A and B are shown apart, each in its own frame.
Chain A
Amino acid sequence: MEKVKVKINGKTVQVESGKNLIQAARLVGVEIPHFCYHEGLTVAGNCRMCLVEVEGEPKLMPACATYVREGLTVLTDTMKVKEARRAVLEFLLVNHPLDCPVCDQSGECKLQDYYMEHGKYESRFREKKIKRQKAKRIGPHIVLDQERCVLCTICIRFCREIVGKRQLGLFSRGDYACIDIFDIQPYDNIYSGNVADICPVGALTDGDFRFLCRAWFLQSTESICPGCSRGCNIYLHHQENKRYLGNGRRLFRVKPRYNPDVNKWWICDLGRYGCTFIDQKRIHEPQKRQNGSFIPVSWNEAYFEIAQLLASLTKRDSSSIGVILSPHLTNEDLFVSKEFFTNLGITDIHFSAVSPDLYHDDFLIKEDKFPNRKGAELIITNSGVASTDELLEKAKNGAYSCLFIIGQDIVKAYGEEHILQCLKKVETVIGQFSNENQTTPLVNYLLPAATFAEKCGSFINFEGRIQKIKQAFSPLHQSKIDWQILVELAKEMGKIMPYNNEQDILKKLSKEYKHFESLDYQKIGMHGLKLNGNE
Chain B
Amino acid sequence: MAKEPIRILTKNWDIKNSNTIEAYIKNGGYKALEKAIKQMNPEQVMDEVKKSNLRGRGGAGFPAGVKWGFVPKDSDKLKYLCVNADEGEPGTFKDRYIMTLDPHMLLEGIAITSYAVGISAAYIYIRNEYIESIAILKTAIQEAKAKNYLGASILGSNFNLEIYVHRGAGAYIAGEETGLIESLEGKRAMPRIRPPFPAAVGVFNCPTVVNNVETIACVPSIIEHGGEWFAGIGVSKDGGTKLYAVSGHVNNPGVYELPVGTSLQKILYEHAGGIKGGELKAVIPGGISASVLAARECDIAMDCQSVAKAGSMLGSAGIIVMNNRVCMVEALFNIAEFYAEESCGQCTPCRSGSHWIKNILERILHGKGKTDDLEIMLSFIPGIMGRTICAFGDALCGPVQSFITKFRDEFEYHIIEGKCNIRNKLDIL
Residues of A within 8 A of B (CB): 43-49, 51, 58-60, 62, 65, 83-84, 86-88, 90-92, 94-95, 124-128, 130, 150-151, 170, 172-177
A170-B345, A173-B343 known; A48 vs B359 contact (CB < 8 Å): no
Bound CA span A506–B351, Å: 58
Bound CA span A62–B346, Å: 14
Residue numbers in B under 8 Å from A174 (CB-CB): 340-345, 351, 354-355
A45-B193, A48-B387 known; A124 vs B351 contact (CB < 8 Å): no
Chain B residues 296 to 348 lying within 8 A of chain A, measured CB to CB, are 340-348
Residue numbers in B under 8 Å from A62 (CB-CB): 193
Prevailing SS type, chain A contact patch: loop
Q: For the complex, is B388 an interface residue (Cβ under 8 Å from A)?
A: yes
Q: Are A48 and B349 in contact (CB under 8 A)?
A: yes
User: Which 6 residue pairs of A and B lie closest in terms of their CB atoms, listed nearest first?
Assistant: A87-B383, A177-B345, A91-B352, A175-B355, A127-B359, A174-B343
Expressed in whole angstroms, the minimum distance between the Cβ of A366 and any Cβ of chain B is: 34
A83-B382, A94-B352, A175-B351 known; A43 vs B193 contact (CB < 8 Å): yes
**Number of residues on chain B facing chain A (CB within 8 A):** 33
Apart from A44-B346, A59-B387, what are 20 other A-B pairs with CB-CB below 8 Å? A46-B346, A47-B348, A58-B386, A59-B386, A65-B193, A86-B383, A87-B387, A88-B387, A90-B383, A91-B352, A91-B383, A92-B352, A94-B356, A127-B356, A150-B348, A173-B171, A173-B342, A174-B354, A174-B355, A175-B343
| Closest B residue by C-beta to A93 | B352
Residue numbers in A under 8 Å from B347 (CB-CB): 46-48
Bound CA span A91–B351, Å: 8
Q: For the complex, is B419 an interface residue (Cβ under 8 Å from A)?
A: no
Bound CA span A214–B340, Å: 37
Bound CA span A83–B344, Å: 24
Q: For the complex, is B370 an interface residue (Cβ under 8 Å from A)?
A: yes
Residues of B within 8 A of A (CB): 171, 188, 193, 340-349, 351-356, 359-360, 363, 370, 372, 376, 380, 382-384, 386-389
Residue numbers in A under 8 Å from B380 (CB-CB): 87
Bound CA span A409–B342, Å: 61
A127-B359, A174-B355 known; A49 vs B343 contact (CB < 8 Å): no
Expressed in whole angstroms, the minimum distance between the Cβ of A43 and any Cβ of chain B is: 7
Residue numbers in B under 8 Å from A170 (CB-CB): 188, 345
A91-B352, A170-B188, A175-B345 known; A46 vs B386 contact (CB < 8 Å): no
Residue numbers in B under 8 Å from A125 (CB-CB): 356
| Closest A residue by C-beta to B362 | A127
Residue numbers in B under 8 Å from A83 (CB-CB): 382-383
Residue numbers in B under 8 Å from A58 (CB-CB): 386
> Can you give 21 contacting A-B residue pairs, CB < 8 Å?
A43-B193, A46-B347, A46-B389, A47-B347, A47-B348, A48-B349, A83-B382, A86-B383, A87-B384, A91-B353, A94-B356, A124-B372, A126-B363, A126-B370, A127-B363, A151-B345, A173-B342, A173-B345, A174-B344, A174-B345, A177-B351
Bound CA span A352–B386, Å: 64
| Closest B residue by C-beta to A89 | B348
| Closest B residue by C-beta to A84 | B387
| Closest B residue by C-beta to A47 | B348
| Closest B residue by C-beta to A92 | B348
Q: Are A151 and B351 in contact (CB under 8 A)?
A: yes
Bound CA span A170–B346, Å: 10
Bound CA span A176–B340, Å: 9
Expressed in whole angstroms, the minimum distance between the Cβ of B348 and any Cβ of chain A is: 5
